[in-house]
Each structure stands twice: as structure tokens, then as C-alpha cells.
Amino acid sequence: MVYTLTCNPAIDYTVFPASPLCMGQTNRTQGETVCFGGKGLNVSTICTALHIPSTALGFIAGFTGQEIARLARQQQVNTDFICLQEGFSRINIKIKDKEETELNGQGPHADPAAKAALFTRLDRVKGGDILVLSGSVLPGLGADFYAQIMRRMQGKHILFTVDAAGDLLRSTLPYKPFLIKPNKQELSDLFGAPAPDEETLFKQALTLQKWGARNVLVSLGAEGAAFLSETGDFLRMPAVKGEVRNTVGAGDSMIAGFLAGILRTGDYTEAFKLGIAAGSATAFSPGLADEQTILKILNQLG
């Protein structure tokens, strides 16, 4: 079973301006979409599309939280959310102009009772299950919240997957996560310098392993992806050719594809390919990819 945790899910309100955006003026749209957002929720959605059992955990609040739950059910995603009594789940505004602009909400506050309720749910996760910890955390949970979870669940043989940035990611490394997935910018921020070539990329991934990560999957956008396995294999794949329509959720889809590949085959190379296929399929789709698109790209990879 793949469990995902999205501490701060959102309603993503995407607008398509009818003309170039002008700040300080009234702008009109030629279309808009509403969907749920949140890195863990995206992983659960792709897992569900690939017929991998998954349960999405997280916190929701207010009318927007109820809409997130409804939209998830509509996508047949199994959820076990904690409903906060105050505030409302955030709304993220995404403006699809010549350059994509985002304005992300803050989200509600999580109190100690909500934190305890989440820990009760996490106690049901069994050895051999995968727990995906991804995205930002709510105010009140602490900057090392993912490390708190991993420390609490030590010894249960959970396969932790962490997709977070900066100190939130760094604090989890002593607990030896099964997989981490920094993107190019997050990797650069961790080391204070970009990886201009493959050798530097390999050295940075190797350093992350020395810090505790078992497997390192790096999404590189238009440059493809790289993967360093715990067995020492370093795999590099260029970006799949196609028309990029949407980058939101592509990295989450890559994680879901990779985990689905591991669960199906136990082979890191095959998992890497399925991760690339799933991430690319979402990038080429208006929203999160469907199974048919993912498998079509997977077949192209050979």
C-alpha cells in the first residue's frame, strides 16, 4: 500500500487570460479550471490510475477542504483526511500567461489535537508499506515535522519517500528515507551551487546518499532526470520529446510512476523508466496524466 501525506492541500484555480496580463488593471479570462492540488494527493491520483492501492492522508478545513475531498472522490482516490475546525484549505491561483505565475495561499493552522489525530492514522501503516511525505507543512506542525514522523515510526520498516525542500528534507536524512526526489533548483539550494554537468550531478546525489538517503531521484525539467540507486547504479535519461502543456504535478507523477514500478517489478531501472513516463505524460497533458498516456510513453522508452 502507498500512503501519501499532504499537510497543506489546496484548490488550484487556474486562469487563462484573454490578453497579456496587465498589473494594476482589470484583466479578463478566456477560460478557467478548478481542481485539487497537493503533492501527495497528486501521487495518490497517479497511483490510482496505475492500479496501485493508495490512501491519501492530510488536513482539510472549511468549504474548500470539503471541495478537495469531493474532487478526490471524483477521481476515485481513497482518502482519510483530518478535518480541522477552524480556517479553510488554501486556494492557489495559477495564471497561464506567456509566463506562468502562481499565487499560493498559506493554509489553516494545525493544533496539537490535529497532530495527534494524524499520528493515530499513521500508526496503521505497516512494515513494507510506502509512506510519501511531500510538500510544505502547516503552521503549527514544526519545521522538522517529517523527521518527527520518521523518528516515531522507526523500526517498522516503512519505505519513506520524501519530496520536500531545504531543511524540511535535510532533517529527514538521518532516518534513511528509501527515496528522495529533489528537483534541479532544490538540489542547487541544498548545495549552494548548481550542477552544471553530469559529474557534479552524480557527486551531489552521492553526497545525499552519504547524508542518509538510500535512493536519489532528481527531476531536471527540460533536461530529463537522473537516478542514483542504493546499489550504486547511476542512470540518466533525457527529456521525452513532446509538447509541454502543464508542468504542475509532473514531479509528483514521476514519484508515483517510480513507486509503481518498484512495487510491480522490484527493478530500479524499470521503475526509473515508469517514473519518466508518468512525469512526461503529465507534462504533455492539461492536468494529471491518465494510464493510457503513461503506458504509451513507456512503450516509446523501450
Backbone angles phi, psi at 282, to 5 degrees: -70, -40
- Coil vs helix vs strand at 31: strand
| Rounded Cα distance, 255 and 260, in Å | 9
Q: How far apart are CA 134 and CA 137, in angstroms?
A: 9
Listed in sequence order, the DSSP H helices in 158-267 are 166-170, 184-191, 198-211, 250-265
CA distances from 277 to 103, 183, 201, 299 (A): 29, 17, 21, 9
C-alpha cell at 226: 537522473
Distance CA(207)–CA(204), nearest Å, equals 5
- Which residues, at least 6 apart from 212, have a Cβ–Cβ distance to it below 8 Å? 172, 173, 174, 175, 176, 177
- Here the cell at position 98 is 506567456
| CA atoms lying within 13 Å on the CB side of residue 295 | 6
- Is 189 annotated in the active site? no
* φ/ψ of residue 128, rounded to 5: 90, -15
Tell how far CA 28 is from the center of its chain.
Answer: 31
Of 97, 233, 252, 267, the active-site residue reads 252
CA–CA distances in Å: residue 218 to residues 164, 187, 262: 12, 8, 17
Q: Which residues are catalytically annotated?
A: 252
